[in-house]
Amino acid sequence: MELQGKTAIITGSARGIGEGIALALAKEGASVVINSRKEKDCLETVEKIRALGGTAIAIAADVAKEDQVTALVAETVKHLGRVDILVNNAGIESAPTLLKDISEETWDRVMSVNTKGVFFCCKAVIPQMMAQGKGKIVNISSVAGVRMTFFGGANYTASKYAVMGLTNHLAWELADSHINVNAIAPGAVLTPLAEQNTTPEYREMTTKRLIPLGRWCTSDDIGNATVFLASDRADMITGQILAVDGGILTGFGEDLRPVIRQRMADMQANHP
């Protein structure tokens, strides 16, 4: 097992992509901290990991609040002794909206979690990793941070570009402390929430038009990539973006703006 003896914090890991990452790391021997804003939301994932024979604890924290993030790291060290891996997965989207219709409140909410949350979490773990002499930080960004997004608004795109910039800067800043900082850029990921918010017809359409490998990603796909970047095999990789997108970034194909704008209108009509 590649991560035996390591301790990992995975933010936003009660469900979806974060849960997949937590399970993947635990299967490779890591002791994992399952995080969400509410502890009760984490318990099912904790039990799944313990049922596999792994070690997991739940620690609640809102990553957009620095004092809670500081406490998250302190509790991890208290209970598990160290922090070897930080996976900044927590993130939110707002309903797909054109820029002219995005409110300041909505813009700030997305940026606060997706960008400021990564800043707070990195800031909190860096002293511990420095003291240990090594560490791995994996930021879960998006193909939206490489090109743009069809699935959210400009606020989401801006937040994920910021994560990419922070990744690159920290990789340089922390290299002499032997802390690797990389980002994963998922494409369309078929989480339970994504399945709930899209129709089979929409998923089939986007697959045909956007994804050369012919399917949406799974949480396992993102988890496997995270295991690699968190492992000793990636010791000479830092400041990089690993796209796990089925080939979306090879090219968008036809103009989908009319389709996406219709989806925006449909969603706004269903969720006024």
Helix (H) or strand (E) holding 184: strand 179-186
Catalytic residue among 156, 161, 216, 228: 156
The one-character DSSP state at 147 is T
Q: What is the DSSP string of 85-99?
A: EEEE-----PPP--G
Token pair belonging to 132:
């240990």
**Three-class SS of residue 90?**
coil
241-244, strands of its sheet edge to edge: 56-60, 31-36, 7-10, 85-88, 135-140, 179-186, 241-244
Backbone angles phi, psi at 150, to 5 degrees: -90, -20
Active site residue 156: yes
**Closest C-alpha to 163, from 189, 142, 178:** 142
| Closest listed residue to residue 263, CA positions, set 98, 129, 77 | 98
Instruction: Provide the annotated active-site residues.
Output: 156
